[in-house]
Structure 1
Amino acid sequence: METKQLSHTGVNISAIGLGGMPLSLSSRPPEAQGIEVIHRALDLGVTLIDTADSYCQDESDKHHNERLIHKALQSYGGDSSQVIVATKGGLMRPNGSWTRNGNPEHLRETIRISFEALGGSKPIDVWQYHAPDPDYTIEEALQPVKEAVEGGMIRFVGVSNFSVEQIQRAREVVDVVSVQNQYNPWHRQPETDGVLDYCEAENLTFFPWSPLGGSRRVSGLAGISAIAQLAKEKEVSVYQIVLAWLRAKSSCIVPIPGASKISSIEDSVAAVEVKLSQAEVTRIDQGV
């Protein structure tokens, strides 16, 4: 598996990660299947797994995905010592909905629970503020995160759903190594809002969330002619073409496609071998 350095940390991660969310939502597979998917990802060389405290069914189920990932890592027969688990905090799941909560006391508590859910024996590899809450300043919300870094509970910090100005403010409080914003053929805002350019210039790793469009749109990829035609020409899946397109957009991009089936993560990892020329990237750009 090709690897990339996580920002300026000196830590290498796989060029394609595994998004854990589908393993814990209401449509989750049986736990044994979820663990098999994670184990298969590790077999294929994946060393980055993205999760969140809110990847669950509702508030009563909070931290489900983190605990599942820890269980999978503990039961894996191979070497998992180099696996980086990137989690998030700051979203709530009341009755299955999604709401923001940047209350410093809440963040302090959820960091502690995430730390324990992921084993409690070493710092959280990457903790990401899931989305800025307008009820609290970024500086207020990140204060407990700074404390957790200084206290040895968090190793690296990332942000999610942030603008350039918000990233800059966050970096005044803590060292930020990654940015996770939505980016896919239907949502190309990072190309125009300055975030992707900023990440490149500042050597921050960019994780595109929902890289294949999410559960509601992924089936529509085959309907985008430029993507479908390239997939046919290269004899690969449309999903591999999209992941290759994202990777071709910038060297700082590390896609984290979700998977709830072994076949899905196998297909996603194979995208590392798919190379697109600039002309092919332009064909996709103009076709979506």
Structure 2
Amino acid sequence: MRTAYEKGVTFFDTAEVYGPFTNEELVGEALAPFRDKVVIASKFYFDLESSEGGLNSRQEHIKKVVESSLKRLKTDRIDLYYQHRVDPNVPIEEVAGAIKDLIKEGKVLHFGLSEASAKTIRRAHAVQPVTAIQSEYSFMERDPEQDGVLKTCEKLGIGFVPWGPVGMGYLTGEINAHTNFDSKTDLRAESKNSLPFKV
């Protein structure tokens, strides 16, 4: 990461679930010497500290986990804080309200959503302006063009951040029908049977 910074990279994306927790720790340690010269994005959504696991985007949970992320990232603010996925159990207005409070407190600078529908984006944006939408987008995955997400971002002035732009590795030419994925650590193992038909 420090080499990346030396070569001009200034945006670093992580999440509490990566590891879990260990990636935020790594990012925090790596970027600490030049924290004020980079942008850090992180994400919340999962109930990682509960023995039951699952999802949790309630206001009180968001306000709790942001404190843990700030400590791991060795910073006093997260530049872009995404809801990692839309929580079907919590109104998006409640999530946006929690982020609005964190922005007022200076702990978060900008609000992002990942894999949100056009309708959800508009509802969230009405409470707290959304800065960025992150969705899967590549030559294999074109949904943002069809489901109104790109048009909504353009209309509202929201940045669009594609994840998986090389088809989670399938478009690099290094993966084929015989490639094996670890079923415990690689999400591509679940969708391997369907992906060759998309290529």
On whether the aligned pair clears a TM of 0.5, the verdict is yes
Match of residue 32, structure 2, among 49, 74, 78 = 74
Matches within 5 A, 1:1-288: 38-56=1-19, 62-75=20-33, 79=34, 81-92=36-47, 99-120=54-75, 122-214=76-168, 218-222=169-173
> 1:187 & 1:101 partners in 2: Cα distance?
27
Q: Where in structure 1 are there 5+ consecutive unaligned residues? A: 1-37, 57-61, 225-286
- Alignment CA distance shift 1:114-1:221 (3 Å): same
Q: Report the Cα offset of residue 140 of structure 1.
A: 1.8
Letter in 2 for 1:199: C
Q: Where in structure 2 are there 5+ consecutive unaligned residues? A: 176-197
Q: Give the fraction of aligned pairs with identical amino acids, expressed as a percent.
A: 33
Query: What's the C-alpha RMSD, in Å, of the aligned pairs?
Result: 2.4
> Residue 116 of structure 2: SS of its match in structure 1?
coil
Q: Report the Cα offset of residue 161 of structure 1.
A: 0.9
With a CA cutoff of 8 Å and minimum separation of 6, indicate the structure with the bigger relative contact order. Answer: 1
Contact 2:32 2:74 in 1 (8 A): no
- Give the TM-score normalised by structure 2: 0.78
- Alignment CA distance shift 1:100-1:81 (3 Å): same
> 2:104 & 2:35 partners in 1: Cα distance?
26
- Give the TM-score normalised by structure 1: 0.55
Q: Report the Cα offset of residue 223 of structure 1.
A: 8.4
> 1:105 & 1:111 partners in 2: Cα distance?
10
> Residue 95 of structure 2: SS of its match in structure 1?
helix
- Alignment CA distance shift 1:198-1:169 (3 Å): same
Q: Which residue of 2 aligns with 1:248?
A: none
